């Protein structure tokens, strides 16, 4: 029996892969459209979409009272009460130049397109994480890894809410890969656009710039600062005082939202000693992070990747405003833990990776559903979601630390 010629397979396979990919994306898009039409989810994207509509088509500042009234009317059908989420826009103005889906006037269609785009971004994030860590799991585990990347709690929450944090994770992870490839200009640009959520990008960018300076890779610093300055200045051509307007909204963000740090959560859980425990946690993590940054100064890329991953994890607990919905930026540290375990233990670690993914998938969904509450008719995740993933990653990163920064058999370049 004649075998299918290898040369013909090389021609057919890319076309077959393209057809499969387009079919999957089309199916996701249709499912997302049905979901968007039948639900009232996507508040993160709705706020952004209304702000973009007001800015591009009506000439209103996204930070104005008129825009806020439109957003509240969309969400509540009326102005928000003082005890409700005020839904002010806290994104920098240049974020509105990066998201074309916000220009689609049909909200349901715009939300469906955005959800589909986020799902593709999550899969691309998983692929980038594999490239950075050089992890090559068995085909069956690779398929489960991509399925996990699309369906675990922190991914689904991003897609359902339409959270722009998926792009922040993508830009930050892409910058790391660009650094490894020596593409310092591209790394700087990606770090700059990651500031569309500046509180999430602050510590990772600071560490990247310090590490790059220790290797005299000044182009990373020049392009990061330069392109960020360009984005800010370009926005000022449209609204000259937008940084001040944006800062005003950022400063009052915590006044109408649930606890936005684990320190706030500790005060809620333990009214007596929660504040003091929060200070201890912030101080301890700050000292730990500074020590690891010093140890990574001038060190090779494998040490950089581990310390960068730790920086992402600590940035979620150090006291900077965040939310468990932003934990998708921790996907690279998670992949690094899987990769280093297999580097150390070989095939036996594949089952550990499988069990870890299963435990995280089931455990996170179970904790979320078991602690879910309803506030004024809206579902609200519990602050307990601040704990599981960072705790797992702290343990995992320090378990693999020796192999990752010293004797790892993972072929990361020096």
pLDDT, tens only, 80-127: 888 778 888 989 999 988 777 778 889 999 999 999 999 999 999 999
Q: Is the pLDDT of residue 316 over 90?
A: yes
166 part of a folded domain: yes
> In this predicted structure, what is the pLDDT of residue 293?
97
Percent of the chain with pLDDT over 70: 92
> In this predicted structure, what is the pLDDT of residue 256?
77
> In this predicted structure, what is the pLDDT of residue 413?
41
Q: Is the pLDDT of residue 255 over 60?
A: yes
Which range is least confidently modeled, 96-100, 133-137, 314-318, 406-410?
406-410
9 part of a folded domain: no
19 part of a folded domain: no
Q: How confident is the model at residue 2 (pLDDT cuts 50, 70, 90)?
A: low
Average pLDDT value for residue range 358-381: 87
Average pLDDT value for residue range 212-226: 96
Per-residue pLDDT tens for 169-208?
A: 999 999 999 999 999 999 999 999 999 999 999 999 999 9
Nearest alpha carbon to residue 330 among 354, 299, 309: 309
> In this predicted structure, what is the pLDDT of residue 412?
43
Total tally of structural domains belonging to the chain:
1
Q: How confident is the model at residue 366 (pLDDT cuts 50, 70, 90)?
A: very high
Cα angle 64, 86, 268 (rounded to 5 degrees) comes to 140
> In this predicted structure, what is the pLDDT of residue 390?
96
> In this predicted structure, what is the pLDDT of residue 23?
81
> In this predicted structure, what is the pLDDT of residue 281?
94
Nearest alpha carbon to residue 187 among 160, 212, 154: 212
Residue 371 has phi, psi (to 5 degrees) of: -110, 5
Q: How confident is the model at residue 9 (pLDDT cuts 50, 70, 90)?
A: low
Nearest alpha carbon to residue 91 among 36, 47, 122: 47
Q: Is the pLDDT of residue 148 over 90?
A: yes
More confident residue, 173 or 59: 173
7 part of a folded domain: no
229 part of a folded domain: yes
Cα angle 99, 326, 162 (rounded to 5 degrees) comes to 40
Domain range for 124 is 24-407
> In this predicted structure, what is the pLDDT of residue 371?
92
Alpha carbon 367 to chain centroid distance? 21
* 357-365: long-range pairs with CB below 8 Å, 24+: 357/144, 357/145, 357/148, 357/152, 360/148, 360/152, 360/388, 360/389, 360/392, 361/148, 361/151, 361/152, 361/153, 363/388, 364/152, 364/153, 364/154, 364/388, 364/389, 365/152, 365/153
49 part of a folded domain: yes
6 part of a folded domain: no
> In this predicted structure, what is the pLDDT of residue 98?
75
Average pLDDT value for residue range 45-52: 90
Are the beta carbons of 51 and 67 closer than 8 angstroms? yes
> In this predicted structure, what is the pLDDT of residue 377?
61
> In this predicted structure, what is the pLDDT of residue 153?
96
Task: Give 194's DSSP letter.
Answer: G
10 part of a folded domain: no
């Amino acid at each position: 029996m004649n075998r299918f010629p290898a040369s013909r397979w090389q021609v057919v396979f890319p076309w077959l892969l393209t057809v499969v990919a387009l079919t999957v994306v089309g199916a996701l898009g249709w499912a997302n459209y049905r979901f968007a039409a039948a639900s009232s989810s996507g508040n993160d994207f709705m706020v952004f979409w209304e702000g973009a509509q007001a800015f591009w088509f009506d000439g209103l500042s996204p930070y104005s009272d008129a825009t806020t009234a439109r957003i509240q009317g969309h969400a509540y059908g009326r102005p928000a009460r003082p005890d409700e989420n005020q839904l002010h826009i806290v994104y920098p103005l240049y974020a509105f130049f990066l998201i074309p889906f916000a220009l689609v006037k049909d909200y349901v269609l715009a939300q469906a397109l955005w959800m589909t785009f986020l799902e593709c971004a999550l899969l691309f994030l998983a692929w980038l994480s594999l490239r950075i860590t050089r992890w090559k799991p068995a085909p069956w585990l690779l398929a489960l890894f991509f399925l996990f990347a699309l369906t675990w709690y922190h991914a689904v929450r991003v897609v359902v809410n339409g959270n722009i944090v998926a792009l922040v994770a993508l830009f930050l992870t892409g910058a790391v890969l660009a650094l490894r490839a020596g593409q310092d200009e591209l790394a700087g640009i990606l770090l700059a656009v990651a500031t569309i959520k500046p509180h999430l990008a602050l510590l990772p960018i600071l560490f990247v710039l310090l590490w790059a300076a220790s290797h005299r890779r000044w182009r990373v610093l020049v392009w990061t600062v330069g392109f960020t300055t360009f984005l800010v200045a370009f926005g000022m051509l449209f609204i000259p005082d937008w940084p001040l307007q944006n800062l005003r909204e950022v400063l009052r963000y915590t006044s109408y939202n649930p606890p936005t740090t684990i320190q706030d959560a500790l005060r809620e859980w333990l009214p007596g000693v929660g504040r003091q425990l929060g200070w201890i946690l912030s101080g301890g993590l700050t000292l730990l992070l500074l020590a690891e940054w010093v140890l990574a100064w001038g060190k090779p890329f494998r040490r950089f990747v581990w310390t960068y991953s730790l920086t992402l994890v600590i940035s979620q607990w150090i006291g900077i405003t965040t939310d468990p919905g932003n934990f998708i930026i921790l996907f690279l540290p998670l992949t690094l833990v899987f990769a280093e375990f297999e580097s150390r233990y070989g095939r036996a670690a594949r089952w550990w990776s499988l069990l870890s993914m299963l435990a995280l998938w089931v455990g996170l969904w179970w904790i979320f559903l078991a602690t879910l509450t309803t506030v004024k008719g809206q579902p609200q995740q519990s602050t307990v979601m601040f704990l599981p993933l960072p705790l797992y990653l702290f343990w995992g990163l320090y378990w693999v630390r020796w192999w990752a920064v010293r004797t790892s058999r993972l072929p990361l370049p020096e």
